[in-house]
Structure 1
Amino acid sequence: MSVNFSWPIFGHNKQISFLQNTLKQGNLANAYLFYGAKGLGKKMIAKYFVQSLFCTESTKPCQNCLACLKMNRGIQGNFMYLSALKNKDDNEDTQVEQVRNFLSNLSLTSFDGGYKLAIIYAVDKLNIFSLNALLKVIEEPPKNTTIILIADQINNLPATVISRCQLLKFQPLNKKDMSAWLETFKLNEVNQQTILNLSFGKPGLALEYIEDNLVSFKKDCQFLLKILSDNTFVAWQDLEHWFGILKKANPQAKVYELAHITTHYLDLWQLLLRDILWHKLNRPVLNVLFSENIAKISQKYSVTKILNNLLSINKIRRQLKNNVTPQLVWENLVLDLKI
């Protein structure tokens, strides 16, 4: 039977071709490691790989056969998945127990004697004890069993785990593939160009913008642009008001939790400053929605001030990870730019 594939995915041609050929030849590895930045489509490709393995039709996945219907309903007995992302109440012992139970169930014989396939999401978030348990299974895998590990980065994974996996590295999509994918959403021209510029080849990030219709993005930009436009005293008041709202909305939040909330704004601050710098250097800005605001604000700051503020952002990210009060960090960031 001739096998065809129906994977509605843009980009990642090399990785997709490799996986589809693997399915055609029936020579699955014991373990795969999909890695690359968050939002690139690793989970989506893993999903189609799994569906295609179980699909009984010639065009895979057909979405209509019994195997596909079971997958879509979450009742495919030969497929398992686990997310290593912690719930707020989880501790290390809880995670180890979850991983061991998962691996124990994976070692059981499949329902029909066929393949069993498992996905572990965010494997780079597992602690060392959980990784050791995983390593034992990868070294001596159950018969007809394949595990797909998904990670945003592999720097902290033990070399022993990495060396026993078939590695597939995922990169951001190029502009051509991203543009073609965005065309399917029928966005207006300005929104499409904005999302294309700001998602940096990451479909997952682009989807967040699309699903929100850029509403949150616009609101957050307006807030930070106001701080950049205001004089020092008013900007200070803006920050005071902002953190008052954050603390009221998150009354039980600890310092590191507030810091995590503000990290998104730090990313956006960096983006706006970079666009202000690019405008001053006569280069096209990425944030075309606010190009007029950026042009106006660019007159207020020197290239040196902007560069120094941009260079300090990585230092600030480290401070926010070390339980430094986020409000103090932000106040210093704004003052350094304005004074």
Structure 2
Amino acid sequence: MTNVPYPWQTNEWDQVQALLDQGRLPHALLLSGLSGLGKKQFALHFIQSVLCEERTGNGHACGACRSCQLFVAGTHPDFLSVSPESSNKPIRIDAVRKLIDFLVLSPSLKSRRIVMIHPADALNVFAANSLLKTLEEPASSALLLLVTDRPVVLPPTVRSRCQSVRFSPRVQSETREWLYKYLGDKKKADLALAQAHYAPLTAVEYADEGYIKNRTELIALLLNLSKDKESPGVLADKWAQSLDMSALNIINAWIRDIIRIGSGVLVVENPDYNETIIAYGQNSNIQKMFDCLDLSLWLQTQLGSGLNMALQLEAFFIRYRAALK
């Protein structure tokens, strides 16, 4: 997936390039927005542009100079990427201390040392507090890019010391056209975009055959549960071991559409199950459905925590079945 910036990122690219060209680039940028919009790819492309020795007329990195070659090889001495050790772990204070030590050194090749923190919302309290001092008193050559899907998780003191670059899939025609070309299947692309709230890179994941298969199976089990063809305990045992963020996203989208119908709104995320969801939404207890959604969202925060997921899933499925009746 190349050709960054993507078609839906042109406004954001123009924004940061204007800051760079006019010498007004701040010491910290906060890149935020819906997951699946390519913020990390954008950040890396911009960082390479800043470090490049021979930028092109439209601000892109040349790709041929020594700096670009080192960046592509992952060995650029003036760039550091900070991320959690794994997806379910936080960024700890030791990692922030390392980036602070990195930023106070003089640049090796050009005039800047750059750090990207992704996802920035993974910073724990101590790490965020440690980063704050650097944001308040940055080295003259320092540039930090904080990339996050959830800016509200960051302390207000951190957010206020960064210049915001907000991403959104504003022009749906651009995202649809890009995905049509990428997937080569308009029907699959339209369904994936609806499920992904028009975040194209998330839609690519949703168009994957493995994801489609899992979604079909999980929705079939939810339908069987509603018809008493499956018990909550048996269903929980089936999914406890393979439960992940993707499966819970499928469940959340299903519940949200039922709530939409019950609230007098149209189906958004599961248009291929439109009639089924309409039937459920018109005959469900919407308040109990909201409770189910809250529980499912909470389960997402507990993945990898060691919690007995089979037990929690059984409780969820019992609530879900009661909400339908």
Give the TM-score of the pair, scaled to structure 2. 0.81
Selected match of 2:248 from 263, 276, 281: 263
Deviations 1:178-222 (A, max 9, x none): 112213314222111111211112123112124x23x32333233
1:71 aligns with 2:54: no
Q: Output the amino acid matched with 1:140.
A: E
Selected match of 2:291 from 312, 326, 332: 312
Selected match of 1:221 from 209, 212, 216: 216
For the 8 Å contact 1:175–1:201, the answer to whether it is kept is yes
In structure 2, the residue matched to 1:255 is none
In structure 1, the residue matched to 2:28 is 31
Q: Output the amino acid matched with 1:330.
A: F
In structure 2, the residue matched to 1:253 is none
* Farther-moved stretch of structure 1 (260-269 vs 67-76): 260-269
Identity %: 23
Q: Output the amino acid matched with 1:34.
A: L
- The size of the alignment, in residue pairs, is 313
- The whole-number CA distance in structure 2 between the counterparts of 1:67 and 1:264 is 40
Q: Secondary structure at the match of 2:140?
A: coil
Residues 178-257 of structure 1: matches in 2 within 5 Å?
Answer: 178-210=175-207, 212-213=208-209, 215-229=210-224, 232-236=227-231, 239-247=232-240, 249=241
Following superposition, the deviation at residue 305 of structure 1 comes to 1.1
Give the TM-score of the pair, scaled to structure 1. 0.78
Selected match of 1:331 from 312, 317, 321: 317
Selected match of 1:287 from 242, 260, 270: 270
In structure 1, the residue matched to 2:153 is 156
For the 8 Å contact 2:226–2:321, the answer to whether it is kept is no
1:303 aligns with 2:282: yes
Q: Secondary structure at the match of 1:305?
A: coil
Q: Output the amino acid matched with 1:106.
A: L
Following superposition, the deviation at residue 33 of structure 1 comes to 1.2
Structure of greater Rg: 1
Question: Using a 3 Å threshold, how does the CA distance of structure 1 residues 271 and 132 change in structure 2: closer, same or farther?
Answer: closer
1:13 aligns with 2:13: no
For the 8 Å contact 2:37–2:200, the answer to whether it is kept is yes
Q: Output the amino acid matched with 2:219.
A: L
Selected match of 1:132 from 129, 150, 162: 129
Question: Using a 3 Å threshold, how does the CA distance of structure 1 residues 202 and 13 change in structure 2: closer, same or farther?
Answer: same
Question: Using a 3 Å threshold, how does the CA distance of structure 1 residues 283 and 267 change in structure 2: closer, same or farther?
Answer: closer
Runs (5+) with no aligned partner, structure 1 = 1-5, 251-257
Deviations 1:127-176 (A, max 9, x none): 22111211111222122121111122232323322222111222234311
Following superposition, the deviation at residue 77 of structure 1 comes to 1.0
In structure 2, the residue matched to 1:82 is 82
In structure 2, the residue matched to 1:3 is none
In structure 2, the residue matched to 1:175 is 172
Runs (5+) with no aligned partner, structure 2 = none
Q: Output the amino acid matched with 2:35.
A: K
Following superposition, the deviation at residue 23 of structure 1 comes to 2.3
Q: Output the amino acid matched with 1:68.
A: C
